[in-house]
């Protein structure tokens, strides 16, 4: 979006970006599965989601608007595309840390796979 000079390219990139709507439910599902595999009780899922909601609210309501607002104030006159590059950098930063998450192997799943393969 930062390099688009035509409205159609901008609209297309924006529509493509709308596909990220499934990110939040997928992350909540993944975190609940990881929590359950590490021995967490399903009855404590509310505590997990509450903690995640606090972190999300801090980022979405306090830190994010402050940082991007300051960036907008400083760059709107000279480099208005900086906002898009900052968004891209934030996404890459988050993806980097997301790739550091390792899902532990499930011994029960291995047994099921082995039983199916050796029938």
Per residue in 36-91, pLDDT (tens digit) is 877 777 778 888 889 888 988 998 899 999 999 999 999 999 998 898 899 899 98
For 43, which DSSP code?
Answer: G
Is residue 24 a part of any domain in this protein? no
Is residue 22 a part of any domain in this protein? no
> Would you say 40 and 48 are in contact if contact means Cβ atoms under 8 Å apart?
yes
Is residue 6 a part of any domain in this protein? no
Is residue 37 a part of any domain in this protein? yes
Look up the domain containing 65 and give its range.
29-117
> What are 6-46's pLDDT values in tens digits?
888 888 888 888 888 888 888 888 888 888 877 777 778 88
| Both structure tokens of 26 | 């997928």
Number of domains composing the chain: 1
Is residue 4 a part of any domain in this protein? no
> Would you say 89 and 6 are in contact if contact means Cβ atoms under 8 Å apart?
no
Cα–Cα distance measured from residue 44 to residue 63, given in angstroms and rounded to the nearest whole number: 28
pLDDT of residue 5: 76
Task: Match 């607002």 to its residue by tokens.
Answer: 69
Q: What is the dihedral of CA 23, 25, 26, 32, to 10 degrees?
A: 140
Is residue 8 a part of any domain in this protein? no
Is residue 81 a part of any domain in this protein? yes
Is residue 55 a part of any domain in this protein? yes
């Amino acid at each position: 979006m930062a390099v688009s000079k035509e409205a159609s390219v901008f609209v297309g990139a924006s529509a493509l970006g709308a596909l990220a709507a499934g990110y939040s439910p997928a992350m909540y599902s993944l975190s609940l599965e990881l929590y359950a595999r590490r021995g967490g009780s399903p009855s404590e899922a509310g505590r997990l989601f509450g903690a995640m909601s606090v972190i999300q609210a801090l980022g979405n309501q306090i830190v994010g608007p402050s940082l991007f607002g300051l960036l907008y104030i400083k760059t709107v006159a000279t480099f208005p595309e900086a906002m898009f590059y900052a968004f891209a950098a934030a996404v890459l930063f988050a993806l980097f840390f997301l790739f550091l998450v390792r899902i532990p192997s499930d011994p029960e799943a291995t047994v099921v796979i082995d039983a199916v393969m050796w029938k």
